[in-house]
Structure 1
């Protein structure tokens, strides 16, 4: 009898150990588990993506009392933007934030709209569009690709940089090899001003400029600063030719696996991060211009009307973007 009691006690102890092991962390969202969300991006530790990702992590973990944990994987450690999008679609990673008009536009073609030159008048026009019906409709298009569009963080208004000369008119760009994002709109955009568009993955861009593979690139000031492009690009032309939002997407199956309270917390965290991000980056722009000047970068104010005129027909060449979408944004 004594032996039987010992055997029974040992069996119960083993069963408890197995049950404990089964109740650990699981990104599948089973009841009682901690959900782990891997959020991948291609930016540096000071890039816009990272700034937003850190705020989102703070907010969502606070709102869920730790039932959701966020792992941030920056610096392209989980692959390029195209790879990150593919992995979100197939569920290999849970979330990513990427420039909407980058390779993401090859998955959701309507996102090419953000590469159309001078579509937006100013930031107010941008935010009215993103925060309204049009922005939501574009987010909804991701569902057909097994993604949940959660919102837009900031990349910003884009400017042209190069290592060769000052740029004040489209004539100055002619013949330059300019790195572009791998989507159709950017081919048309750069050809319209006489540049030679050259697709290069973002994580390879610094070295491509350093080695002379391309003469220049175009990105917002916070990107130029955070990626230290000014070390290999001595001319910045403040063209403000397009605005890029950083779309935030989650694997749809992961989203559906969250309970209602968790979904609400995630959405609120994305929205609050959007507000925080816009304000934080707006405050940094003057500081960034000073940093560029301190690094002997020559900054020019170009003839934007000349650039606008040179690129006015690009919207007619990009068949991936419905004409009525362009018209709605222009009149928004």
Structure 2
């Protein structure tokens, strides 16, 4: 499986930050806030995500916590809540919009795409050539322009952590060609692109909340799902799935956003620290997850999962028209801009 390492690295974390104390200037704090003896503000941020303590989200959350607390000398502390204890991804997005939650990170092409339709672009099959193409897109002008669109939706786009290249798993049969997926009930994220994607393969797209997916697979509510290798590993989906096909059909970034209310309450120093910590966490998480891939593949095989290399050219051909069904959500100019990234 070593030969798959570059093509299928899954990197990726969902976070929710909410203030336990208001933020003001460096010498004063808003009502309810605490200060140190030197007058520096003390802020507690709650960061919640829908993954387990070994999920990509948690890898990023822990690093983000470390960096923020270090850079603020402990004046900003991070409390991490995993396993969707503060709500599903869809609920987190809603709470960002109404300002009841301060910060979250979710898969950009999931329920987030219902608020920012352009993010459906990340659900388009075989849009990216490889991992380098993904990072050049996210770290360049295209990624920046998408964050600008996020900024118009009553929230602040801070950057991208990683979910990763997505692969198909199921509990029915080995998948090598598109026709092997026909008739299967496949869990999808609640976004238009995923319904179109699975229908193009002849599968039955079935939306299931991420925090309910393990039980849905275990109980046979759905036959399979599609997620990056680190997700399949960290959420232990391999316990209830017999087959994994390395389709690498899409790449999902984890968009990192903050509500306008929360961002406005942060002083400039803390804003810069949060932004810098998000960016540094991105690099750390990508490298960390890349090094984990061979270990994950070994875990799957040791657990009795059949891992196959599918006919990706056939999958790309079968799903080539998915983009046409999303012309209202995803402009052709955006697709062209991504294809032209070098």
Q: TM-score, normalised by structure 1?
A: 0.91
Name the counterpart of 1:136: 144
Name the counterpart of 1:328: 337
Structure-to-structure mapping, 1:152-191, within 5 angstroms: 152-191=160-199
Q: Higher mean Cα deviation, 121-130 or 80-89?
A: 80-89
Rounded to whole Å, the distance in 1 between the matches of 2:289 and 2:94 is 28
Rounded to whole Å, the distance in 2 between the matches of 1:117 and 1:262 is 38
Q: Does 1:243 align with 2:236?
A: no
Q: 1:125 aligns with which of 130, 133, 150?
A: 133
Rounded to whole Å, the distance in 1 between the matches of 2:170 and 2:329 is 29
Moved over 2 A (4+): 30-33
Name the counterpart of 1:29: 23
Three-state SS of the structure 2 residue aligned to 1:213 is: coil
Name the counterpart of 2:16: none
Structure 1: 5+ residue stretches without partners: 1-24
Structure-to-structure mapping, 1:216-231, within 5 angstroms: 216-231=224-239
Three-state SS of the structure 1 residue aligned to 2:152 is: helix
Residues 162 and 285, structure 2, Cα contact 8 Å, conserved in 1: yes
Deviation at 1:26, TM superposition (A): 4.6
Three-state SS of the structure 2 residue aligned to 1:34 is: strand
Rounded to whole Å, the distance in 2 between the matches of 1:104 and 1:39 is 18
Rounded to whole Å, the distance in 1 between the matches of 2:306 and 2:270 is 48
Rounded to whole Å, the distance in 2 between the matches of 1:143 and 1:312 is 31
Name the counterpart of 1:49: 57
* Aligned-CA RMSD value: 1.0
Structure-to-structure mapping, 1:5-154, within 5 angstroms: 26-30=20-24, 31=29, 32=35, 33-154=41-162
Deviation at 1:192, TM superposition (A): 0.6
Q: Higher mean Cα deviation, 246-255 or 283-292?
A: 246-255
Q: TM-score, normalised by structure 2?
A: 0.88
Deviation at 1:70, TM superposition (A): 1.3
Residues 242 and 304, structure 2, Cα contact 8 Å, conserved in 1: yes
Residues 102 and 181, structure 1, Cα contact 8 Å, conserved in 2: yes
Q: Does 1:205 align with 2:199?
A: no
Residues 26 and 34, structure 1, Cα contact 8 Å, conserved in 2: no
Deviation at 1:139, TM superposition (A): 1.2
Rounded to whole Å, the distance in 1 between the matches of 2:155 and 2:68 is 19
Rounded to whole Å, the distance in 1 between the matches of 2:94 and 2:148 is 18
- The alignment covers a number of residue pairs equal to 308
Q: CA deviation digits over 1:257-287, x for unaligned, max 9?
A: 1111111111110000000000000000000
Residues 155 and 259, structure 2, Cα contact 8 Å, conserved in 1: yes
Residues 20 and 45, structure 2, Cα contact 8 Å, conserved in 1: no
Residues 150 and 267, structure 1, Cα contact 8 Å, conserved in 2: yes
Q: CA deviation digits over 1:32-78, x for unaligned, max 9?
A: 43122222210001000000000001001111112211111110101
Residues 39 and 97, structure 1, Cα contact 8 Å, conserved in 2: no
Structure (1/2) with the larger helix percentage = 1
Three-state SS of the structure 2 residue aligned to 1:159 is: strand
Rounded to whole Å, the distance in 2 between the matches of 1:27 and 1:143 is 24
Rounded to whole Å, the distance in 2 between the matches of 1:291 and 1:188 is 32
Q: Does 1:282 align with 2:267?
A: no
Name the counterpart of 2:223: 215
Deviation at 1:27, TM superposition (A): 2.8
Rounded to whole Å, the distance in 2 between the matches of 1:27 and 1:239 is 46
